[in-house]
Amino acid sequence: MNVTDKLSVNSTINYQRTNSGNRPSISYGTENLMYLWIWYGRQVNTNTLRDYWMRGLEGVQQFNYNYNYHDNPYFNVFENTNGQSKDRIYGNISATYRFTPKLSLMLRTGLDTYNELRDRKRAFSTQRFPRGNYREDDVYFSEMNSDFLLTYSETTKPVWSYSIALGGNAMRQENRYVQTVAPQLLIPGIYNFTNTAVNLQVNQFIGEKRINSLYGFGQIGYKNVLFLDVTGRNDWSSTLPITNNSYFYPSATLSAVISDMVTLPSAISFLKLRGAFAEVGNDTDPYSLSNVYNSAVAWGTIQAKTESNRLSNADLKPERTGSFETGIDIRFLEGRLGFDFTYFDNRTRNQIIPIELDIATGYASRIINAGEIQNKGIEAVLNARVVQNSKLTWDVTANFTRTRGYVLELTEGLDTYTLTGRNGANIQARIGERMGNIYGAGFARVEDPSSPYFGQIIHNTSGTPITDPTLKLQGNYNPDWMLGLANSLNYKGISLGFLFDYRHGGIVVSRTKTIGSTSGQLEETLFGRENGYDLNVEGNGIISEGVIRNADGSFTPNTIKITSRNWHNRYYERNNVEAAKYDATFLKLREVTIGYTIPKSLLSRIPVQDVKISLVARNLALWTENPHFDPETLAMGGGTLIPGVEDMSFPSTRSIGFNLNVKF
């Protein structure tokens, strides 16, 4: 909004409300419906479990077919709920004042804040909480950014142009978290903290962070064909020690429009080359410099505090990421065919990570600066207008990405660092190897290259495969490469768009595969037991491929038939990552959109410029080797997502909706 001919003011505000009465429990556990599906017997008619309270004990004891390991699925859905409500407000207000046509000052303040309340209710007779349980997590987050930017630009026709700007930013971030738990309930069905049967458990966290910044950037242009952009920024962070809390990082980009500098073949309508170097600094989280006391479970009426098992570090330095990038943008046939190619090489050093300590020190880990990680790769984008006439246009965009991350350095005395893991799958960083490598146990195999049985699985004298507990490289969760294909067609106001995503390579380690095989719930476990478990019946039993290790250390082919149950129990041992992994390659029909734009002639009598109605469908189809789950799934462990691991995940969702866009 223009207040005067020199002053303009702009403002945006957005509000989001998220509310759910019951988000499903995830990961392995009795409250996850996928867990129940895996372990329930096929003979169980779940319809008989709809009345999930035992008669005469309503509200106190659930009814189920098995009370040892399972919760009634209807009881879980309707009684053991995970509620969530979240209110988020974000927006900004800015004012720009033009002192002269060449000099302007912009002031801006933005806020992003939300309040979230999560409540977890567990009824009496729940497997994990026989006396019930109630928990609330109250989460608050706020980030405010205030900026100023003074800009001066000049053009000296027809040769030189330049602009220069000086700015600053003040970032204020606050996190508050309060978790309150009633470990047992006094009266069934009343979810209130006054109904606790024992002392409440309260855990509280308050984290504040400040970053003040000054930055500047400038551009010099020559004849509108050659451009040099440079930037510099200095941050002062509250989460780093005073001696190291100031860090500067620059960048420079050089680009040249070759098609305006020299005469090219007529088929080439545009050609631009570019190269860039940049460095970025990064800080850490609050409370990383010195240890603090956290809330602990009270001892009777005595409140308790505990120190973290992670040792802080008062000498931390900021992380540094240096990047180099070069690329080409070339277009043909008056822009109807375009190709953009980028090569990049990023290196991050002084990463702030926790490393393991000897437990005798009193701590499990310590935060340090360590390591250097390299990420390099290529990105290529092809744009084409396949058809263009007065009635129809058809645009196609294809993008290809291939990246590789390598561990160049860790820290003195450390050549392996475990980043995360679950279900026996350890995601480790090892010097000289790729980031994302998954290590885990696998089958014991013949290791003598001169043996005729080299590489075959070793079995014990009972005919069951042996698991070698030694951690071995099982694969990498990152894809070898990715490809996307988008199409957009428009015909007389009708639009059609569809997007395909293809991911090639990588692995995913699946607990659904492991547990589903040992429980006999997966279709592939039917082999060898169609007629029961009597090994004397034709078609029953399995002779596992591989060899048996004899007492003298020699090997002979395995000829021992065992029941299908025994084979699946031993082949898919829970810590055997090799048996649990899948190829993560997939092709997805990610999105289809059909829209219609109402002709302007029909809108002439109302104060509306454009109206478009669209039907949008997402996640419509999936093609993959794995028949049981979406390879894009991620496990949850310790409150964080674990890539490359699947843990009793729900099927991915397909959504269909509509959009109404009105432009006034």
- Residue range 538-561, pLDDT digits in tens: 777 899 999 999 888 899 999 999
Query: Whole-number mean pLDDT of the chain?
Result: 91
At 187 the three-state DSSP class reads coil
**Per-residue pLDDT reduced to its tens digit, 87-108:** 999 999 999 999 999 999 999 9
Is pLDDT at 406 greater than 70 in this prediction? yes
Is pLDDT at 121 greater than 70 in this prediction? yes
Higher-confidence residue of 28 and 489: namely 489
Q: What is the mean pLDDT of residues 427-456?
A: 95
Q: What is the mean pLDDT of residues 363-382?
A: 93
Query: pLDDT band at residue 216, thresholds of 50, 70 and 90?
Result: very high
User: What is the per-residue pLDDT for 407?
Assistant: 94
- Quickly tell me which residue has 């098609």 as its tokens: 259
The token duo for 270 is 């545009």
Higher-confidence residue of 591 and 652: namely 591
Query: pLDDT band at residue 217, thresholds of 50, 70 and 90?
Result: very high
Q: What is the mean pLDDT of residues 435-455?
A: 95
- One-letter-per-residue 3-state SS of 507-553: EEEEHHHHHHHHCCCCHHHHCCCCCCCCCCCCCCCEECCCEEECCCC
User: What is the per-residue pLDDT for 636?
Assistant: 61
User: What is the per-residue pLDDT for 344?
Assistant: 97
- One-letter-per-residue 3-state SS of 416-457: EEEEEEECCEEEEEECCCECCEEEEEEECECCCCCCCCCCCE
Q: What is the mean pLDDT of residues 576-601?
A: 91
Phi, psi of 389 (to 5 degrees): -150, -170
User: What is the per-residue pLDDT for 42?
Assistant: 80
Higher-confidence residue of 17 and 633: namely 17
Is pLDDT at 530 greater than 80 in this prediction? no
Share of the chain above pLDDT 70, in %: 98
Most confidently predicted of 200-204, 424-428, 500-504: 500-504
User: What is the per-residue pLDDT for 365?
Assistant: 86
**Per-residue pLDDT reduced to its tens digit, 467-524:** 999 999 999 999 999 999 999 999 988 999 999 999 999 999 999 899 888 888 888 8
Query: pLDDT band at residue 639, thresholds of 50, 70 and 90?
Result: low
User: What is the per-residue pLDDT for 637?
Assistant: 58
Q: Are 7 and 95 in contact (CB under 8 A)?
A: yes
**Per-residue pLDDT reduced to its tens digit, 599-611:** 877 767 777 778 8
One-letter amino acid for residue 565 of the chain: R
Query: pLDDT band at residue 618, thresholds of 50, 70 and 90?
Result: very high
**Strand spans (E) along 285-364:** 293-299, 302-307, 310-311, 319-332, 337-356
d(CA 563, CA 310): 48
Q: What is the mean pLDDT of residues 12-20?
A: 95
User: What is the per-residue pLDDT for 392?
Assistant: 93
- One-letter-per-residue 3-state SS of 353-421: EEEECCHHHCCCEEEEEEEEEEEEEEEEEEEEEEEECCCEEEEEEEEEEEEEEEEEECECCECEEEEEE
Is pLDDT at 63 greater than 90 in this prediction? yes
Q: What is the Cα gyration radius of the chain?
A: 31
Choice among 178-192, 381-395, 634-648 with the minimum mean pLDDT: 634-648
Q: What is the mean pLDDT of residues 632-641?
A: 70
Query: pLDDT band at residue 324, thresholds of 50, 70 and 90?
Result: very high
Parse the chain into domains and list their residue ranges.
24-80
**Per-residue pLDDT reduced to its tens digit, 271-290:** 999 999 999 999 999 999 88
Q: What is the mean pLDDT of residues 163-175?
A: 97
User: What is the per-residue pLDDT for 499?
Assistant: 96
Q: What is the mean pLDDT of residues 116-120?
A: 96
The token duo for 434 is 């790729």
The pTM of the full predicted model, rounded to 2 decimals, is: 0.89
Higher-confidence residue of 537 and 152: namely 152
Is pLDDT at 2 greater than 80 in this prediction? yes
